[in-house]
Structure 1
Amino acid sequence: MSEGTIRTIDFNDTGLVRSLYELQRESYLIEAKLINFYEIPPLKETFEEFQACGEQFRGYFLDNQLAGAVSCTVEEETVTICRMVVHPDHFKKGIAQQLLNTLESDMGHVSLFKVATGKDNVPAKNLYAKNGYKHDRDLEVAPDFYISLFQKAVR
């Protein structure tokens, strides 16, 4: 496998944004099956809603094909990771780890990272835990459906 590159996704590039939208749907559908919850917000949003989300995205490209992405919002000294997606063909290749590393490196000025994932999404929870994210709490967001909240203080 060739080495991937990570770069900011330009939301003026409609074709690339469309690819990102389709990639996230494929990735979140796998998560939905894993956690048995199909109301994940990115699975419900329209392309127009996605275009207007206001998040910063970094994409992981293999041979100029989008294979993964991470998005975040920044408020003062806190980064909230909003989405972490990898194309199912590229699971278990370290792409999410590389995206997380790059995001943390790019955001050196902040003091806190936050992220949430489905309580039963063991691969995601393991990724964050091994990178120093501490479990904050579980939160019921729908009847009998919980997300796990994680934080990582960096200063």
Structure 2
Amino acid sequence: MIRQLESTDYPALYHLQQRAYQVEADLIGVLPFPPLTQTEAQLVQEQPGGYVCVCEGTLVGALTLEQETITRLIVSPDHFRQGIAKQLVQHVLTRQTVRFVSTAAANHPAIALYRQFGFRQTNQQTRDAIVLVTLERS
């Protein structure tokens, strides 16, 4: 079930973020990986908005947004390859305008997913030793 992210989800979102971003850090071969340095207090202070996927009462995926930009798309490693990220992107695109997302250039699965929805690379930069690509959707 996909529903709106609520502030009561923040502790579970933080736990999910730690697990999912560790997999991404391993995938792209970068440590320290900046998203893993965020504390739970910082996440709460950020007050992200977006959507979560809940399965049997457990938060298994999340997509957060700021204005027209996806700021986080994460899925529990226990639920990889089940279409959760795709469902979250589809869900948000039917509800609001989303134009931008950034991810590591080495994160080929994420880039392939975003391309399915019409996102195209418009920029590349290096930050914190990570080559990031920005994708835009018209």
Identify whether the pair has TM-score above 0.5, normalized to the shorter chain.
yes
2:2 corresponds in structure 1 to 6
1:41 Cα shift? 2.9
Identity over aligned pairs, percent: 28
Report if aligned partners of 1:80, 1:115 keep a CA contact under 8 Å in 2. Answer: yes
1:44 and 2:37 aligned? yes
Cα deviation digits, residues 9-68 of structure 1 (max 9, x gap): 211x2xx32111000110000000000112333211111100011321211011121110
Letter in 2 for 1:88: P
Q: Is the 8 A contact 2:119 2:136 kept in 1?
A: yes
- The one-letter code sitting in structure 2 at the alignment partner of 1:18 is P
Equivalent of residue 60 in structure 2, options 67, 71, 74? 67
Q: Which residue number in structure 2 is paired with residue 114 of structure 1?
A: 100
Q: How far has the Cα of 1:71 moved from its partner?
A: 0.1
For residue 39 of structure 1, give the secondary structure of its aligned residue in structure 2.
Answer: coil
Structure 1 equivalent of residue 133 of structure 2:
148
TM-score relative to the length of structure 2: 0.94
- Counterpart position of 1:81: 70
- Structure number with the higher helix fraction is 2
Q: Which runs of 4+ in 1 moved over 6 A?
A: none
Tell me the equivalent position of 2:79: 90
Name the amino acid aligned to 1:149. T
Question: Which sections of structure 1, spanning at least 5 residues, go unmatched?
Answer: none
The CA RMSD measured in Å over matched residues stands at 1.2
Aligned to 1:103: 92
- Find out whether 1:129 has 2:115 as its counterpart: yes
For the residues of structure 2 that align with 1:103 and 1:36, how far apart are their CA atoms?
30
Contiguous gaps of at least 5 residues in structure 2: none
TM-score of the superposed pair, with normalisation by structure 1? 0.84
Structure number with larger C-alpha Rg: 1
Q: Distance in 2 between matches of 1:105 and 1:41?
A: 30
**What does 1:8-23 correspond to in 2, within 5 Å?**
8-11=4-7, 13=8, 16-23=9-16
